[in-house]
Structure 1
Amino acid sequence: METSSPAPEMTAVPAGRVTLSDRRTRRSWQVDVEPCLLGAFPVTQGLYAAVTGERPGATHGDRLPVEGVSWWDAVRFCNALSLRDGHTPAYHLDDGTEKILWDESADGYRLPTEAEWEHACRAGSTGPHYAPLDEIAWYRANSDERLHEVGGKRPNAWGLYDMLGNVWDWCWDVYDAEVYGSYRVLRGGGWFDEHWSCRSSARRRSHPSYRVDDVGFRLARSAVR
């Protein structure tokens, strides 16, 4: 995924069913997940710069995950990359009102739903993480409190890297509209988090306009029907 790469590396994720849970409300629910494509790595700074001409964040390197990007930055990037690569953009945006609609029939890049994200992260596993954490994730105990290049740890069984640790991933979903309004879901844990935040089931939330130094995103695409 260097700056000159024509397209991000995407990995096929099979259909399945996942049980989501929320520790705050002690609620769990099942979701059926359709087959999709997911980025093998978080979006890198090199790819982000190639599409937008921008390098957000304080630490720079083409193979570092992009961070310091808001949810709105991420969805706009998805549309820009879709247009660059000849796909139909997934999102219809009204920048004046910040309203957004997801065209689920579009073949363009988008953010994963949190059900897609957790199903892909688990890759058939049932524990808190899909392998020993030190082998698969950069987190506070081993990161030296800094970002690391993508792909430096073991992938999961479906060939997805850095699903846990390094940077949190923005997801499409609203976290809890009744309590937190427009706040969106974050998944995966980051380089500064303790081990209990780097779990397949862990959920966090943030306002879609916030930019944080341990939050990035990963691309998804709907499977061709």
Structure 2
Amino acid sequence: MVQEVRDKLLKLVETYGCNVLDYPIRVRNLLNDLCKSRFKKEIYAIFVTLKAGANTKLVDSAKSSSVSTTIAGLIERIQNDYAIEESLSSWSVESICESIGISYQKDSSASFTSIINDIAPQTSTAEAVLENESETTEIQNRETKENEFDIFQETSETPSRNGELRIDFKQTAVNSLSKVRNKRRYLGLAILFLIVAGLILMAILVSSFEGNNTMQNSPSSFQYSYIASALVPKMVFVKEGSFVMGDSMSAGSDNESPGHRVTFTYDYEIGEQEITFEDYGKFCLDRERKEPSDQFWGRGDRPVIYVNWFDAIAYCNWLSEKEGLPKSYDLSGALIDENGRSTLNPSEVAGYRLPTEAEWEYSARGGNKSKSFVYSGSDSIESVGWYDLNTEWRTEETGRKLANELGIYDMSGNVAEWCTDGYAEYLSSSLINPYVADGSMRVIRGGSWYNSADSCRVSSRSYNSPETTFLSYVGFRICRTLF
């Protein structure tokens, strides 16, 4: 892995103190600046490792002499939750260990040695750099954290040459990780066998369908190779087609113009309703994640809130994995095809994902059944959507208003919805299967209970940082290309 990134991380800790690791977003931004936007994969791996609570967990495990178990657990969680390969997961955890003074060495007995270095945080410098960040609230409590390594010093046995204190933890981290790798290797072989058998069976079925000329261009014709389980929310078929995207009534904001023609050369399906707390709760339970708050409004069939863009695509990758489909996103959030290669064409993505902005608007307008309504399904927002004037300033259960022409609910109002695309201004040129991969912001569509009726129009656009989690009016729905 890239040593330069690890060196920069160590430099950050030397400059700002160990407590800077409690703020993953700030660490990521500082590393991006120091590395001049290079090594994005490695920096993202460190970001999600810190986001998983590696700093606190490693320090606590050192106190209880359970470092090896904690490391193995962190590596496995990062692989599962963020689709990061094992070598990069191990590297990122090792980098965090080294940065906080816990270094493990592979010797002849495969033991584990942890060295705690007393790195004094420079409080004034850190506060100056972080003063405009949301983390400053917790940074102000730095004095209570400056002694976080004192417990280690009290239990040390042998001082090092420079007066620092050393603690030896006789662990078997290498052996533990080896056992985990062996289990995964055997599991991988079993999965490979099942995949090969499935491909053979699929080839036989396809040959049979083609030989009898019974395949029809309809929603059911795309289900011969995959039947969704009860875990998947109800989906609605959307036929390929063409439409004019953007403000066609000269009633919108500047970012809705110019109108431009978009053509889809593939069929897809999109969630009939927004992902609910019940749907998202299954993901959290399986991945041992903390469920987001419901603001005491209720859970169940209400749309999930307080989820950022990365949370939404993590759910999509999890659902794809559960359904035996290829994942749709790599560790950076870019779309990938069924072979794991980056792609700019949504028609090549096999798993569940967020809709592109164009797919979202085409679906909201009613697809090839569109009646050119202002809102999704009607010219009256009252009949199809929840917005600021007809709610008690909270979310409502999904599916309680009228559906649009395709049978899709709540695409105007209730909660706004994350899209796959980065935000960009429109161009006048015609597009085929569009997808915007670049940009620091992600598109949000549909308006919500918090917004006015104007924001709930099918052409209205918004955006926010993909890491924004504090919004009680943003959720998401899922989408999948049909082959």
Q: TM-score, normalised by structure 1?
A: 0.89
1:217 maps to which residue? 476
Q: Once the 2 structures are TM-superposed, how far is the Cα of residue 186 of structure 1 from its aligned partner?
A: 0.7
Matches within 5 A, 1:16-95: 16-21=241-246, 23-25=253-255, 26-33=257-264, 34-53=266-285, 54-57=290-293, 58=295, 59-93=297-331
For 1:171 and 1:126, the matched residues in 2 are separated by 22
Question: CA offsets, 1:10-39, max 9 Å, x none?
Answer: 110111212222732442222112311000
User: Residue 56 of structure 1 contacts residue 69 of structure 1 at CA under 8 Å; is this kept in 2?
Assistant: yes
Letter of the 1:190 partner, please give it: S
Do the aligned partners of 2:278 and 2:299 also contact (CA within 8 Å) in 1? yes
Tell me which residue corresponds to 2:420: 172
* Contact 2:329 2:335 (8 Å CA) reproduced: yes
> Does 2:372 match 1:126?
yes
Residues of 1 paired with 2:245 and 2:386: CA distance?
24
Query: Is the contact made by 1:18 and 1:115 (CA closer than 8 Å) also made in structure 2?
Result: no
2:254 corresponds to which letter in structure 1?
A: R
Cα-to-partner distance string for 1:102-124 (whole Å, 9 max, x where unaligned): 32434211010111111111111
2:386 equivalent in structure 1: 138
Q: 1:88 & 1:99 partners in 2: Cα distance?
A: 14
Which letter maps to 2:243?
V
Q: Does the CA-based 8 Å contact 1:5-1:47 persist in structure 2?
A: no
- What residue number does 1:14 align with? 239
CA distance in 1, matches of 2:466, 2:443: 9
Q: Which runs of 5+ in 1 are unaligned?
A: none
Per-residue deviation at 1:133?
1.0
1:48 aligned counterpart, secondary structure: helix
Contact 1:167–1:189 (CA under 8 A) maintained in structure 2: yes
Select 1:112's aligned residue among 351, 355, 361.
Answer: 355
Aligned to 1:101: 335
Percent identical among aligned pairs is 35
Cα drift, residue 5 of structure 1: 4.6
Partner deviation per Cα, 1:108-155 (whole Å, 9 max, x = no partner): 110101111111111112131121211110111111111100111111
Counterpart CA distance in 2 for 1:42 and 1:138 is 13
Whole-Å Cα distance in 2 between the matches of residues 142 and 50 of structure 1? 31
Secondary structure of the corresponding residue to residue 7 of structure 1: coil
For structure 1, which segment, 142-151 or 101-110, has the greater mean C-alpha deviation from structure 2 after superposition?
Answer: 101-110
Alpha-carbon spacing, 1:150–1:173, altered in 2? closer, same or farther (3 Å): same
Stretches of structure 2 lacking an aligned partner (at least 5 in a row): 1-228, 248-252, 338-345, 426-437
Q: Residue 218 of structure 1: CA displacement?
A: 0.6
Query: Which structure features the higher share of strand residues?
Result: 1
How big is the shift at 1:44? 0.5
Decide which structure has the larger Cα Rg and report it.
2
Kindly report the root-mean-square deviation, in angstroms, between the aligned alpha carbons of the 2 structures: 1.9
Greater RCO (Cα-Cα under 8 Å, separation 6 or more):
1
Specify the SS of the correspondent of 1:27.
Answer: coil
- Within the candidate set 148, 152, 155, 2:400 is matched to 152
Task: Point out the more displaced range, 22-31 or 47-56.
Answer: 22-31
- Whole-Å Cα distance in 2 between the matches of residues 30 and 153 of structure 1? 30
Corresponding letter in the other structure for 2:336: W
| In structure 2, C-alpha distance between the alignment counterparts of 1:41 and 1:99, rounded to whole Å | 23
Separation (CA, whole Å) in 1 of partners of 2:468 and 2:388:
22
